Amino acid sequence: MTTVLKVGGAVSDDVADYLAALDGGPVVVVHGAGPQISAEMQRRGLPVQFVDGRRVTTEAGIGVVRELLADVNARVCAAIGERAVPLMGDEIGLAAVQVEELGLVGDPRPSRPKAVLEALAAGRIPVVAPLAAGPLNVNADEAAAQLAVGIGADEITFVTDVPGLLDQDGATVDAIAVDDAEALLESGILQGGIIPKLEAAVSAARAGVQARIGVTVVHA
């Protein structure tokens, strides 16, 4: 069973622990670097601006995004060990459609990069930094979902710093159907990082990839 494992920049050093919890089948790791990018942009005096959870990205900003993604990619690969294959998304052909009002930002589309398939065929673990050709800055959760769809993965797991999707009482939701998940997203109840993860999980599940946010299964 092929799995896409999406980890955030904040938990990238613990990726080996998450890999150990999987079934041992082929795995693609997609990582973010949000906290690191924001901190470095502030250090350089560049504006940090988000619209609906997506980073407005200028010509100056895309360089910082790429630099910090490369740094986190190296850390993730080091944490995994010799099986890891470092891959920058813009170099391997991750596809996206530019969202021009946000600058150098893209909506990712299903992609099937040759480099990812070759790494999997060799029994290795491709570690993908979520940049699209251009380069365009893309949301890491969305990029992971569209990569999972493109390569025909069986499952995508979004690693979070919470157990999973939480209900209004703070209890973990074991499973949620995509229609219910979309209604929840439209309700405006949710806040923070769970929103792009649930949106990406819904997108993957509708395309036939079993999606999991922590312990919460999102199913069609």
Domains of the chain, by residue range, sit at 3-219
Q: What's the pLDDT at 215?
A: 93
Query: Which residues of the chain register pLDDT less than 70?
Result: 12
Q: What's the pLDDT at 205?
A: 97
Tokens representing 208 are 């036939």
Q: Are 14 and 78 in contact (CB under 8 A)?
A: no
Q: Which residues are CB-neighbours of 173 under 8 A, at least 6 positions away?
A: 164, 165, 166, 167, 216
Q: Which CATH number fits domain 3-219: 3.40.1160.10, 3.40.50.9100, 3.30.365.10, 3.50.50.60?
A: 3.40.1160.10
Q: Are 193 and 41 in contact (CB under 8 A)?
A: no
Q: Does the reported pTM lie above 0.75?
A: yes
**Dist. CA 33–CA 133, nearest whole Å:** 18
Q: What's the pLDDT at 29?
A: 97
Q: What's the pLDDT at 168?
A: 83
Strand partners, 136: 132
